[in-house]
Structure 1
Amino acid sequence: MERLANRIVLMTGWKRALLAFGAGAAAVLGQAPLHAFVVCFLSFPILVWMIDGAIARPSRSWIAMAWPAFATGWLFGFGYFVAGLWWVGNALFVDAEEFIWLWPFAVTLIPALLAVFYGLAAVLARILWSDGLGRIAALAFGFGVTEWLRSFVLTGFPWNAVGYAAMPVPILMQPAAVFGVFGMNALAVFAFSLPAAMAQGARRAALAAAMLVVLVAADAGYGYWWLADAKEPEAGAPLVRIVQPAIDQSEKWDRAKRNEIFDMLIALTEKPGPSGDAPDIVIWPETSVPFLLTEAPQAVAAIAAALAPGQVLLAGAARLGEVDRADGMPTYYNSILALDSDGVIFDAADKKHLVPFGEYLPLRPLLERIGLKAIAAAADRGYSPAERRRALSLPGGVVVLPSVCYEAIFPYEAEAEGEPATVMVNVTNDAWYGDTPGPYQHAHQARIRAVENGLPMLRAANNGVSAIYDALGRQSAALGYGPQGAVEARLPQALAPTWYARQGLFTFWGLIAALALAAFIGRYVELRHTFRH
């Protein structure tokens, strides 16, 4: 292994660039749907050895000094995000005549921008770099900070954060209830990078191996202990049905298909389930009906007729708001509407965190001049964001923490005004991306939100992964990409608020401080040894 490390350290030119790109691309295999996280134990040591060789020539310019490390991290990140997000371009094929020209930009520009965060991670690490285990802590520190930044800078896009690769199954997910995904990002990079220290002599190799064994054992042991005491849903818990209509995205807003689509949703709502009991709560996915439900009294009446007394429907739907005072145009919201068997829309929650260029157009007056518009919005002007996130109160004391589409990938979106939530509901439409890794990655990230907060997650997708996860991330029922139908199960119990839910980022910042201290000590010891000799 030492010979391999030395060869990588000394690499230059195109071979070095290609290896950095390839190592990053390979690391994506650790994400859903493959969950081949063992690959990360090779990809991150390669990154460590490449940063070992990212030595700048003496210069007064801090940019010149930082460039070799930044370029190494950026190339690694570019490979990671190209391989992990290529499917985003599929959304542009739905309306190809209008948007296909954007495809090369979507599959390269987005990864190039996200890769900047990994370039910065390498720079932060290089500042505290040493030749021993301290550099492993430095890299974990760098990635921990920049993955946190990636969650909110320029509205944020923390898709495929490294920590998700370390949580493929429920037994390995449970530490997220303590550290959250931000803390798991740093811990995952630390663990994945430890094999790099095994190429530095028997003593360091033994210490690195011991640390890795302890980390993995602690992770799995904590998960086993926590799952051993898990409770099953109560016999009298509400029965939940999730409807997956699997409508082709090219037909979703076709006026000729609207009645057929609506009738399908009604039929899947009324269809007898395997238990023979009528569901208490039915959930339709994001923008499930191809029209404004609030402006269609006949459709609302049909829903009321389909619901038995006491049943509730949560329907993802576009909602017409008030007229915008600035331009006199109506506003639209991407919402979740709550309807009862009397045909009353008794509550609603609007999406707060919109997708740039998908649901709204940044710098709209300027970009509209060159023919751009929001790709996934119900109206050309795009959706408007909710002023605040609010919980939905349902009969029987069920309090829903709602999220629409990719809001479920943001840990800090898991809070709302109102009573404390008893369940999380995520409605989405992943049909935009076809049968690619995207829908599975999306579902896995939503699943971790359940573990972080100790709340069950009910996920309804037009197509993708519709599933019921309990508060420990265990799957009760699910439909993968493709099938049209419905799944149902008893509503899992909520747990007491987790440490992460109570403390937020407190533990994360404590972990980051500990990693920075370990890296600083490694750097200090190295410099002291250098000056002595």
Structure 2
Amino acid sequence: MNWRRLSVMRPRAWLAARRGWRHRLYLVLAGGLSALSMAPLHFWPALMVGLCVFLWSLDGARRTDRPVRSALLRGFLFGFGLFLAGTFWIAFAFITRGPGYGALVPVALPGFAALLAIFWGLAGLLYVRLAQRSEWRVLVFAAVITLTEGVRGHLFGGLPWNLPAYTWSAGGLISQSAAWAGVYGLTFLTVYMLASPAVALGSRFRLTRLMPLMSAAILALILACFGALRLSAMPEGEQPDVRIRLVEAGLSQSEKWGPGGGEISRDRYLDLTAEAGLDTVTHVVWPEGALPIFMLEDGDTLGRIAQTLDQGQILMAGVNRRARLEDGYAYYNALAVMRFSSGSPRIEGLYDKVRLTPFGEMVPMSWLLRLIGFDEFTRYQFTPGPAPSVLTPTGAPPVLPLICYEAIFPG
């Protein structure tokens, strides 16, 4: 068999033949494709293809006149595609604020993706500087990506969004490895396993090229077996005396925030909460920001809830709350644990969200926007809570609240 003539086995050479804007476009597309490996699809082959294209491109950067600068740009372009596709949801934070804010999407979304892409650019730079011309260079590739992703996850409070480790669905076999390796250890293993095919393909067939791929396959099998054993050994954890009712109204943003949205949302949640079987329920959970009002200040709403939960049930509700300051209010995205006895609410626990979502709940570098006169865009944002805290609802095990994207932070 003439391996040299099988162009399908030489994708690296094909990519290297693409010059100028075409090569840059393919890198952005490869990054965007990689985003399909994240929730909710978890299609890991997409990340494998993307990482292989990225590695081949960095190998090609070595042959340019300015390899370091070329690698920095190539890493940035790949990361830009990855985060442009993976952070599209930021656009909805602007659109739902009103017509005037939607105009900022074409600036904010690419700008945010570009900021995060810098770290992938640094990974490309480090790879070209450190990697040897060996089949095992994929280890360096995995190491530098893990390093720069770790920096991204901690610098300025961190934003570990769409780490390569998150390609494995939570609770699945491979994800169990995070129990001993941590999310960054699993990131290293993920990049190594999925990028190994890149070094197996070349212009000439050599058995040594297959060694990283074979070791990656064995590693994946070991991780899957470990995950299966760990899951089989997990205790059931069921508490027969606790029965939880999860309530989600499924209202659109226009219904929720439009005229009369407070009453519509309240009535919908109360109707769902009061459905048949409530007498057997011990705890009711409403989601983040369930009602578009300051529920803890609304006596009518609290009275209606007390009428519904008249058998001592605990309500754990995501609420927006505010605290008065000398010059106005501080606003918090919170979880309130309430018990209704004798018709009056008693707050058993309160957690204020610590890590706020950029652009949705807070505006990054808002001090700079205020300095240049854009106070309007920073006026309404949440204040972070002091620290994570464990709540102990009556009749239930201790709870560590994680609101929205707080769940992506390891530890």
Q: Is 1:266 matched with 2:270?
A: yes
- Give the C-alpha shift of residue 143 in structure 1: 0.9
2:158 to 153, 156, 159: 156
Q: Which residue of 2 aligns with 1:485?
A: none
In the other structure, the counterpart of 1:215 is 219
CA distance in 1, matches of 2:381, 2:347: 23
Local SS of the residue matching 1:360? coil
- 1:5 corresponds to: 12
Q: How does 1:455-470 map to 2 (within 5 A)?
A: none
2-structure distance, mates of 1:168, 1:402: 17
1:185-264 to structure 2, matched below 5 A, reads: 185-200=187-202, 201-234=205-238, 236-264=240-268
For the pair 1:32 / 2:54, whether they are aligned, the reply is: no
Distance in 2 between the 1:79 and 1:35 partners? 17
CA contact (8 A) 1:144 1:186 kept: yes
SS at match of 1:338: strand
How does 1:37-436 map onto structure 2 within 5 Å? 37-55=44-62, 66-167=68-169, 170-200=172-202, 201-234=205-238, 236-273=240-277, 278-324=280-326, 328-342=327-341, 343-364=345-366, 367-368=369-370, 369-370=373-374, 372-374=376-378, 380-396=379-395, 398-412=397-411
Q: State the Cα distance separating 1:344 from its structure 2 match.
A: 1.0
Judged with a 3 Å threshold, the aligned counterparts in structure 2 of structure 1 residues 121 and 243 are, in CA distance, closer, same or farther, namely: same
Q: Relative to structure 1, is the Cα distance of residues 356 and 228 closer, same or farther in structure 2, using a 3 angstrom cutoff?
A: closer
Maintained 8 Å contact 1:272/1:278? no
Paired residues of 2:35 and 2:85 also in contact (CA < 8 A): yes
Q: What SS is found at the alignment partner of 2:330?
A: strand
Considering Cα pairs closer than 8 Å and 6+ residues apart, tell me whether 1 or 2 has the greater RCO. Answer: 1
Alpha-carbon distance in 1 for matches of 2:239, 2:114:
51
State the Cα distance separating 1:281 from its structure 2 match: 1.4
In 2, the alpha carbon distance for the partners of 1:10 and 1:287 equals 52
1:172-196 Cα shifts (integer Å, max 9, x gaps): 2211211222211111111111011
Amino acid at match of 1:8: L
Q: What's the TM-score, normalizing by structure 1?
A: 0.70
Gap change, CA 1:40 and 1:89, over 3 Å in 2: same
After TM superposition, the score normalised by the length of structure 2 is 0.89
Q: Matched residue of 1:396: which SS? A: coil
Q: Is the 8 A contact 1:320 1:333 kept in 2?
A: yes
Distance in 1 (alpha carbons) for counterparts of 2:332 and 2:239: 37
For structure 1, which segment, 387-396 or 333-342, has the greater mean C-alpha deviation from structure 2 after superposition?
387-396
Stretches of structure 1 that go unaligned for 5 or more consecutive residues are 59-63, 375-379, 413-533
Q: Identity of aligned pairs, percent?
A: 30
Unaligned runs of 5+ in 2: 1-7
Matched, 1:19 2:26: yes
Farther-moved stretch of structure 1 (233-242 vs 133-142): 233-242
Question: Matches of 1:371 and 1:235 in 2, distance apart?
Answer: 50
Deviation of 1:161 after TM superposition, in Å, equals 1.2
SS state at 1:34 partner: coil
Change in 2 beyond 3 A, CA 1:235/1:264: same
Q: Do the aligned partners of residues 184 and 95 (structure 1) sit closer, same or farther apart at CA in structure 2, a change above 3 Å counting?
A: same
Give 1:231 deviation, angstroms. 3.1
Deviations 1:55-91 (A, max 9, x none): 2767xxxxx6521111111111111112222232133
**Root-mean-square deviation (Å):** 2.3
Please give the alpha-carbon distance, in whole angstroms, between the structure 2 residues aligned to 1:30 and 1:365. Answer: 35
- Does the CA-based 8 Å contact 1:283-1:313 persist in structure 2? yes
Would you say the 8 A contact 1:335–1:351 is kept in 2? yes
Q: Give the counterpart letter for 1:122 in structure 2.
A: G
* Distance change >3 Å, CA 147–CA 362, structure 1 → 2: closer
**142-151 or 169-178: bigger deviation:** 169-178
| CA shift in 2, pair 1:261/1:186, >3 Å | same
Inter-partner Cα distance in structure 2 for 1:4 and 1:337? 55
Which amino acid is the alignment partner of residue 28 of structure 1? A
Q: How far 1:244 sits from its partner (Å)?
A: 0.7
Q: Distance in 1 between matches of 2:358 and 2:209?
A: 46
Aligned partner of residue 5 in structure 1, secondary structure:
helix
CA deviation profile, 1:300-340 (whole Å, cap 9, x unmatched): 2222221143311111111121314xxx2122211111110
Check the 8 A contact 1:319/1:333 in 2, yes or no. yes
Q: Post-superposition shift, 1:109?
A: 1.1
CA contact 1:9–1:52 (8 Å) conserved in 2: no
Report Cα offsets for 1:429-466 as digits up to 9, x if no partner.
Answer: xxxxxxxxxxxxxxxxxxxxxxxxxxxxxxxxxxxxxx
- Check the 8 A contact 1:285/1:316 in 2, yes or no: yes
Contact 1:334–1:351 under 8 Å retained in 2: yes
**Count of matched residue positions in the alignment of Structure 1 and Structure 2:** 397
Which string of whole-angstrom CA distances, capped at 9 and with x for unpartnered residues, describes residues 214-250 of structure 1? 1110111111111222333436141111111112112
- In the alignment, the residues of structure 2 paired with residue 290 and residue 370 of structure 1 have an alpha-carbon distance, to the nearest angstrom, of 26
Contact map agreement 1:56 1:66 (CA 8 A) in 2: no
For the residue of structure 2 that corresponds to 1:314, the secondary structure is strand
Q: 2:33–2:46: 8 Å Cα contact kept in structure 1?
A: yes
User: 1:145, CA displacement in angstroms?
Assistant: 0.9
Counterpart residue identity of residue 257, structure 1: G
**Distance apart, 1:6 and its partner CA:** 2.7
CA apart distance, 1:360 = 2.8
Assess if the C-alpha contact under 8 Å between 2:354 and 2:388 holds in 1: yes
